[in-house]
């Protein structure tokens, strides 16, 4: 699906979609439990992949009519060997988290996904399961990428793993380690990138009654624990990765003001977007008690931003930089190349096609806003929800019409994104 956008102003109120990161973890945590009700989940292509995995391991996931509650029947910490291949589609979070689940069962689980997912690195997690924990974990092509074959009935132990490839490896091991006999101690070989995502994991584990903690050189979770949330329920907070696009729309195109609700504080690292916009000179106010952000069109100035802990913000910040005066440097971004697509190159190439002046290095993306003049163009969304939404926001301020190709992939994290933009007054043609 292609979506066409024209220069527009926006105003009104938009509710932030639920957090994808929290929803993934809550669904799997409910699977490790005897079951739970997950309130306000994000129901998207990615989270449906995690639902399928929980079902494959012997649980079940039911969605109530208004999609506001998931009724999860769990497998009680003892996953069954799936009767078929688990297709994780495009969800890297699903694949990594449920790979560790597969290591708990005595049989073998086969995990695969689409072309993009089959190109993403899984090797460190496979090595941890096989070399450190004594399970079986193989890449069928012996290249550290899916399809994967995993099993072996691991009982816990010590794991040494790099922290600069994906924090999801640590999340997977902590979640599975709680139901092993011995627990798992994770020792980090390198500095941890995307650390706030492990903070999210620790927060969800705590909500499900599981104790895990950070240590001087990694993380630890004791074994023999039981997942059980208070009153059998868990409530998913709003998603700040998705809020970033709405906030960008506000400071770039809000005629009066744009109000974003369900923006409550949490462990999400992407809450940093509020500070980034404020540093750029954006007129933004966050009432944390009420969970409300208001933003107004502002004259922005370029800044330097590290995305070491907030990789999902790079596309949004790049778009803001293309409109800001001066230069915006996004640093510590090499790991952002290993997402659904190489997001560093994708944003460099597509913003350049729209008239931005961009310099790309391996670990840095520099946008020269003063030398940029965004013009409508046909841009490739790269089948990546974050690229698509960021380019759509650029289309709100570009001169002329912008066509974003492959726009249907927003269903990964923000299925009604274009409906929300339309309701806020943007000129959107689907």
Domains of the chain by start residue, with CATH: 3-17+238-429 (3.65.10.10), 20-232 (3.65.10.10)
Whether 299 is catalytic is no
The set of residues, in sequence order, having a beta carbon less than 8 Å from that of 338 and lying 6+ positions away, is 120, 121, 165, 166
Q: Has residue 67 got a pLDDT over 80?
A: no
The span from the CA of 145 to the CA of 166, in Å, is 14
Q: Which of 312, 325, 380, 423 is catalytic?
A: 312
The span from the CA of 53 to the CA of 16, in Å, is 26
Q: Is 142 exposed, middle or buried (0-12, 13-18, 19+ CB in 10 A)?
A: exposed
CA 287 centroid distance within chain:
24
Its pTM stands at 0.86
Check the annotation: does 343 bind a ligand.
Answer: yes
Q: Give SS3 for 324.
A: coil
Check the annotation: does 193 bind a ligand.
Answer: no
Instruction: Give the pLDDT score at 66.
Output: 76
Residue 177: in which H helix or E strand, if any?
A: helix 168-177
The span from the CA of 175 to the CA of 101, in Å, is 8
**Contact indicator for 132, 157 with CB cutoff of 8 Å:** yes
Check the annotation: does 312 bind a ligand.
Answer: yes
Task: Place 65 in a pLDDT band, splitting at 50, 70 and 90.
Answer: confident
Check the annotation: does 339 bind a ligand.
Answer: yes
**In the chain, how many H helices and how many E strands?**
12, 24
Check the annotation: does 21 bind a ligand.
Answer: yes
The span from the CA of 124 to the CA of 80, in Å, is 24
- pLDDT per residue as tens digits for the range 354-373: 999 999 999 999 999 999 99
What does the pLDDT average to over 182-186?
98
Place of tokens 């802990």: 309
Helices (H), 14-146: 20-32, 45-56, 92-102, 123-127
Q: Which residues are 366's β-sheet partners?
A: 329, 359
**First-last CA distance in the chain:** 8
User: What's the CA dihedral at 403, 409, 413, 417 to 10 degrees?
Assistant: 30
* DSSP label at residue 423: H
Going through 80-236 in order, the beta strands assigned E by DSSP cover 86-87, 108-112, 136-139, 148-151, 157-161, 184-188, 212-215, 218-221, 233-235
Q: Give SS3 for 349.
A: helix
Residue 248: in which H helix or E strand, if any?
A: helix 240-253
- pLDDT per residue as tens digits for the range 197-245: 999 999 999 999 999 999 999 999 999 999 999 999 999 999 999 999 9
- pLDDT per residue as tens digits for the range 123-148: 999 999 999 999 999 999 999 999 99
Task: Place 90 in a pLDDT band, splitting at 50, 70 and 90.
Answer: very high
Is the omega angle on the peptide bond into residue 50 within 30 degrees of 0, that is, cis? no
- pLDDT per residue as tens digits for the range 284-324: 999 999 999 999 999 999 999 999 999 999 999 999 999 99
Going through 113-225 in order, the beta strands assigned E by DSSP cover 136-139, 148-151, 157-161, 184-188, 212-215, 218-221
Check the annotation: does 166 bind a ligand.
Answer: yes
């Amino acid at each position: 699906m292609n979506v066409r956008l024209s220069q527009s102003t926006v105003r009104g109120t938009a509710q932030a979609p639920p957090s994808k990161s929290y929803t993934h973890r809550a669904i799997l945590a409910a699977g490790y439990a005897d079951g739970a009700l997950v309130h306000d989940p994000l129901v998207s292509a990615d989270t449906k992949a995690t639902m399928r995995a929980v079902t494959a391991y012997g649980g079940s996931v039911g969605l109530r009519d208004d999609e506001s509650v998931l009724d999860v029947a769990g497998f009680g910490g003892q996953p069954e060997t799936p009767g078929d291949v688990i297709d994780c589609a495009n969800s890297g979070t699903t694949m990594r988290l449920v790979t560790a689940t597969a290591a708990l069962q005595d049989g073998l689980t086969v995990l695969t996904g689409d072309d993009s997912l089959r190109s993403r690195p899984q090797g460190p997690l496979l090595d941890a399961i096989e070399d450190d924990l004594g399970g079986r974990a193989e890449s069928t092509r012996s290249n550290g990428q899916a399809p994967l074959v995993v099993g072996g009935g691991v009982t816990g132990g010590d794991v040494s793993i790099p922290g600069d490839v994906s924090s999801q490896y640590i999340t997977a091991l902590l979640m599975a380690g709680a139901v092993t006999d011995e627990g798992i101690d994770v020792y980090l070989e390198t500095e941890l990138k995307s650390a706030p995502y492990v903070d999210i994991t620790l927060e969800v584990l705590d909500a499900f009654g599981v104790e895990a903690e950070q240590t001087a050189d990694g993380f630890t979770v004791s074994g023999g624990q039981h997942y059980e949330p208070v009153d059998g329920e868990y409530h998913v907070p709003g998603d700040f990765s998705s809020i970033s696009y709405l906030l960008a729309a506000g400071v770039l195109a809000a005629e009066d003001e744009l109000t974003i609700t369900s923006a409550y504080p949490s462990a999400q690292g992407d809450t940093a977007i509020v500070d980034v916009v404020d540093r750029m000179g954006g007129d933004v106010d966050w009432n944390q008690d009420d969970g409300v952000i208001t933003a107004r069109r502002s004259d922005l100035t370029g800044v330097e931003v590290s995305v070491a802990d907030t990789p999902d913000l790079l596309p949004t910040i790049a778009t803001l930089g293309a409109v800001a005066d001066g230069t915006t440097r996004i640093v510590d971004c090499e790991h952002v190349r290993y997402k659904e697509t190489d997001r560093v190159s994708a944003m460099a190439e597509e913003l350049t096609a729209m008239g931005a002046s961009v310099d790309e290095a391996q670990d840095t993306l520099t946008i020269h806003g003063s030398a940029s003049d965004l013009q409508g163009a046909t841009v490739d969304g790269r089948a990546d929800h974050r690229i698509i939404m960021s380019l759509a926001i650029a289309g709100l301020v570009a001169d002329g019409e912008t066509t974003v190709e492959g726009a249907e992939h927003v269903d990964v994290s923000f299925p009604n994104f274009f409906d929300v933009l339309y309701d806020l007054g943007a000129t959107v043609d689907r």
